[in-house]
Amino acid sequence: MSQTPIDPHSPWQQMVARFQKDKIGMLAAGFAGFVLIVAVVVGICSCFGLYFPHDPNQTDLERKLLPPNWVNWLGTDNLGRDVLSRILQGAWISLSVGFIAVSVSLLIGVFVGAVSGWVGGWLDNLLMRIVDAIMCFPSFFLILTVVALVGPNIWNIVVVIGLVSWTGTARLVRAEFLTLREMEFVRAARSIGQRGWVIAFRHVLPNAAAPIFVTAVLGVPDAILAEAGLSYLGFGVQPPQATWGNIITDGKVYILDAWWLILFPGVAIFLTALSFYLLGDALRRAADTRAERK
Amino acid sequence: MTAFILRRLSIAVLLLFAISLISFFIVTLTPGSPYPWGELNPKISEDVKRAFREKFHLDEPLHKQYFLIMQDLFSGKLRSIKDERSVLDKIAERLPATLALNAVSLLLSLSFGLLLGIYAARYYGRLPDIATSVLAFAFIALPGFWVSYLVAIGFSHLAGAPVLGLSSFGVVFPSTLSRLLDFFWHIAVPAWVLAIGGIAAQSRFLRATMVEALREDYIRTARAKGLSEQIILFKHALRNSLRPLITGIGLLLPAMVSGSVIVESIFAYPGIGRLGYEAVLERDYPTLVALNFIVAVLVLLGNLVSDILYAIVDPRVRLE
């Protein structure tokens, strides 16, 4: 029998250490963090009526459809609004959509998955068949149908995206619970007489935190892209509130005359989504302890 | 094997029931006026509203509504609000175009996803692997409608590729072959756009299973025997990595239909994605119920077939 050296660091510390060695992951984390900070700063400032560099809703028909210049760094749109200001405003709205939608889907997914994996039996069977049935629906079309019927405003969109996209999380949490509930610390907790649901949510759930966190990070760009797609079809967050999706939608008529209306918000969506995906993937690699052993 | 198929079929019947419930309730339980013209429109008389409610059984209790709507759907009596045509006819008319588009783009995703996946697994952990995985995420991160625009404009300018509809307008084709070629020429650009996400997903999927397979003992044995890297990669590792790919196809189907909604409406492609978007715009509630239901059933059938195929190639699954 070989003696394995015991690592004095906690699993969480080990994960952080592994993550820090991942250059792409660090780069993605840097960019995602930058976008996040910009979005939050813009969001807080706009509450106090402070805008940078211009008011995103200020129209000026004498300065419409200008290409990028010294006053309007990324040009102006068909109503003379500053594109950079609108993209910054859009960062706040789009990221809010991403984060809130993910919170809704995590709340449902973690709860359903935990109950399913912990209780098992017919309840598990029933819940998982419901998950299977929902997964048969093309999610974007389902979201579009419901949003169109309830009316497109930011809260409806966020809740509907969340309500449709929890199934993956539920399956993952269930799988984690199925493995974890056979572990010795669960038997230990039972033997000292702790109640079932206390063990499930106080002891087992924290052990499944890493994979849940990874799916949350990967869910943010999914929601941002879904909102952008809805915007394109006219059922996203409604103007004058700017999102990256509806800046493109408003600008699509001018695509041959004003490329800056399409290019910049598209690049903003692409880079943000890419950085979140790469970050999530790097976190998954860092959380995967099996990779180290091989 | 028969027992396995029977068990799968009984689960599928259960899922079918759940799917019909979901597609009925998402439309009926959502708050808001059931009328396509709005609750308070003064131009609509009380009689018209009553006739509408009667037609879609809106005065019945909810569970009866469900049975009546499903009965209407299966007997073809469910009619679109817009043009009074049977929704089944409307869907049947549009379905082949979408199936063709999705089949071509599935083929593209599988073949190119396969190549990228093998390439990444071959150079696991090295630069080509890292580059392809960044590329795959870049493909997923591209907003579909944005890419469709850029690609549509790019291709129609540079290559003169058609980006509208199914066939050239006003052309009389001398033979079936030329008509077919014209069709594929029209389908090319939308199919590629639709395949972008699929290529990325499949390559990630295959890379993971290939990396796993390349660590197995039989690969070490093959290397020890002095087999060439080519043979090890394609004959030993790839063959054993193909099975999960079958499940991957099942997972890809709903995403492709979702993509169709946007791609078809940009490329004016007369498929069910576009039909769905038109129905959403008109609040055509019978069409929405039917469309969600039928698409989900198609996906269910796809999953069933891929489950059975999986059991054929891998006998271990049958025991479960």
Q: Give ∠ CA B6-B8-B11 in degrees, rounded to 5.
A: 110
Q: Name the token pair of A257.
A: 């005359």
CA distance A258 to B102: 33
Query: According to the model, what pLDDT value does residue A1 have?
Result: 47
Alpha-carbon torsion (B302, B304, B306, B308), positive or negative: negative
- Residues of chain A below pLDDT 50: 1, 292-294
What are B215's two structure tokens? Answer: 């660590």
Q: Which of A24, A130, A149 sits opposite B130 (nearest CB)?
A: A24
Phi, psi of B95 (to 5 degrees): -60, -45
d(CA B208, CA B204): 6
B contact residues 106-145, partner A, Cβ 8 Å cutoff: 130, 133-134, 137-138, 140-145
Mutation for testing the A interface, residue in B16, B17, B21, B30 having most A CBs under 10 Å? B30
How distant is the Cα of B179 from the closest Cα of chain A, in angstroms?
31
The closest of A220, A223, A203, A222 to A114, measured between CA atoms, is A203
Contact at CB, B254 and A138, closer than 8 angstroms:
yes
B8, B126, B146, B303, best to mutate vs chain A, most A CBs in 10 Å: B146
Name the residue among A239, A232, A77, A88 with its Cα closest to residue A154. Answer: A239
Contact A243, B143 (CB under 8 A): no
Q: What are phi and psi of A65, to 5 degrees?
A: 50, 40
B104, B187 Cβ separation under 8 angstroms: yes
- CA proximity to B238, closest of B217, B209, B216: B209
What whole-number distance in Å separates Cα of residue A151 and Cα of residue B295?
Answer: 23
Q: Does residue A142 sit at the B interface (CB-CB below 8 Å)?
A: yes
d(CA A67, CA A278): 32
Measured between beta carbons, the chain A residues lying within 8 angstroms of B149 are 252, 255, 262
Cβ within 8 Å, pair A233-B280: yes
Tokens of B239: 């063959």
B277 contact residues in A (CB cutoff 8 A): 144, 233
Chain A residues with beta carbon closer than 8 angstroms to that of B15:
129, 132-133, 136
Written as one letter, the residue type at B303 is N
Q: How far is B177 from chain A (nearest CA, A)?
A: 34
Cβ atoms of residues A157 and A237 within 8 Å = yes
- Taking CA–CA distances from B25, the nearest residue in chain A reads A146
Q: Does B255 touch chain A (CB under 8 A)?
A: yes
- The reply to whether residue B146 touches residue A248, judged by beta carbons under 8 angstroms, is yes
Phi, psi (deg, nearest 5) at residue B86: -60, 130
Residue B313's Cα: distance from chain center in Å?
Answer: 24
Spatial neighbors of A10 by CB under 8 A, at least 6 apart, are none
Cβ of A294 within 8 Å of Cβ of B215? The answer is yes
d(CA A222, CA B138): 13
Q: How far is CA A91 from CA A33, A160, A260, in A?
A: 12, 20, 17
Which token pair is A225? 């892209």
Which residue of B15, B137, B262 to mutate against A (max A Cβ within 10 Å)?
Answer: B137
On whether the B2-319 domain is CATH 3.30.1490.20, my answer is: no
Cβ pair B203, B120 in contact under 8 A:
yes
- Within 8 A of A26 by CB-CB distance, chain B residues are none
A248's CB contacts (< 8 A; 6+ apart) are A228, A231, A232, A261, A262, A265, A266, B143, B145, B146
Residue A151: list chain B partners with CB under 8 A.
32
**Chain B residues closer than 8 Å to A132 by CB:** 11, 15, 18
Task: Decide if B15 and A232 are in contact by the 8 Å CB cutoff.
Answer: no
> Domain spanning A13-55+71-293 has what CATH number?
1.10.3720.10
Q: Which long-range contacts (CB under 8 A, 24 or more apart) does B309-314 make?
A: B309/B246, B310/B243, B310/B246, B310/B247, B311/B1, B311/B4, B311/B5, B312/B1, B313/B243, B313/B246, B314/B243
CB distance B289 to B24 below 8 Å: yes
A134 near A193, Cβ under 8 Å?
A: no
Residue B228 backbone zone (phi > 0: left; psi -120 to 50: alpha; other: beta):
beta
Mutation choice for A interface testing from B145, B251, B285 by most A CBs within 10 A: B145
Of A142, A232, A262, nearest to B292 by CB-CB distance is A142
Domain ranges within chain B, ordered by starting residue: 2-319
Mutate to test the interface with B, among A132, A145, A222, A249 (most CBs of B within 10 A): A145
User: Which residues in B lie closer than 8 A to residue A136 (C-beta atoms)?
Assistant: 15, 19, 254, 296-297, 299-300, 303
Flag if A278 and B255 touch (Cβ within 8 Å). no
Nearest Cα neighbor of B19 from B258, B289, B304 is: B289
Q: What's the confidence (pLDDT) of residue A292?
A: 45
Which residue in A30, A155, A101, A37 sits closest to A45, CA to CA? A37
C-alpha–C-alpha distance, residues B100 and B170, integer Å: 22
- Backbone φ and ψ for B82, nearest 5 degrees, come out as -70, -55
Q: What residue has token string 């943000």? A: A272
Q: Is A245 on the interface with B (CB under 8 A)?
A: yes
pTM, full prediction: 0.89
Of B138, B99, B136, B104, nearest to B117 by C-alpha is B136
Please tell me the predicted confidence (pLDDT) of residue A293.
Answer: 42
B262: chain A residues, CB-CB within 8 Å: 140, 229, 232-233
Longest dimension (CA), chain A: 81
Which class for B105: exposed (0-12), middle (13-18), buried (19 or more C-beta within 10 A)?
A: buried
Nearest to A144 by CA among B267, B271, B190, B276: B276
Domain borders along chain A are 13-55+71-293
Whole-Å CA distances, B287 to A154, B258, B281, B282, B283: 26, 17, 11, 10, 9
User: Is there a contact between A144 and B261 if contact means CB atoms under 8 Å apart?
Assistant: yes
Alpha-helix residue ranges (DSSP H) falling in chain B: 2-28, 46-55, 62-75, 87-122, 127-141, 144-158, 176-214, 217-224, 229-231, 238-266, 272-281, 285-313, 316-319
Q: What ipTM goes with this model?
A: 0.88
| Shortest CA distance from B131: residue in chain A | A24
Average pLDDT per run of 10 along chain B, which is 320 residues long? 86 89 82 70 80 79 85 83 84 90 90 91 89 93 89 78 68 76 82 90 89 89 89 86 76 83 87 90 85 89 84 74
Instruction: Please check whether residue A149 touches B, CB under 8 A.
Output: yes
Across the interface, whether the CB atoms of A144 and B138 are under 8 A apart is answered no
A136: contact with B, CB 8 A cutoff: yes
Cα–Cα distance measured from residue B105 to residue B92, given in angstroms and rounded to the nearest whole number: 21
